[in-house]
Amino acid sequence: MPALILPLVDAATHWPERGGLIGLDLGTKTIGVAVSNPDRRLATGVET
């Protein structure tokens, strides 16, 4: 399946209702990573 490149608002319609999501914070020196819980109510930073 090819990768989807969509605006975030449109991309959300392609995600399942439950399950963890990964967030990236692209800083000037480092990249921060966070993962949500399956209910998507809380995200926690990940050591990289």
Residue by residue, pLDDT tens for the chain (48 residues) are 666 677 878 877 888 889 999 999 999 999 999 999 999 999 999 997
Specify if 3 maps to a domain.
Answer: no
Specify if 8 maps to a domain.
Answer: no
Q: Is the pTM of this model over 0.85?
A: no
Specify if 34 maps to a domain.
Answer: yes
Specify if 7 maps to a domain.
Answer: no
Specify if 38 maps to a domain.
Answer: yes
pLDDT at 1: 62
pLDDT at 3: 67
Kindly tell me the sign of the dihedral angle through the C-alpha atoms of 4, 5, 6, 12: positive
Q: Which domain holds residue 33?
A: 18-46
Q: In total, how many domains does the chain have?
A: 1
Specify if 24 maps to a domain.
Answer: yes
Burial readout 5-26 (b: 16 or more C-beta within 10 A, e: otherwise): eeeeeeeeeeeeeeeeeeeeee
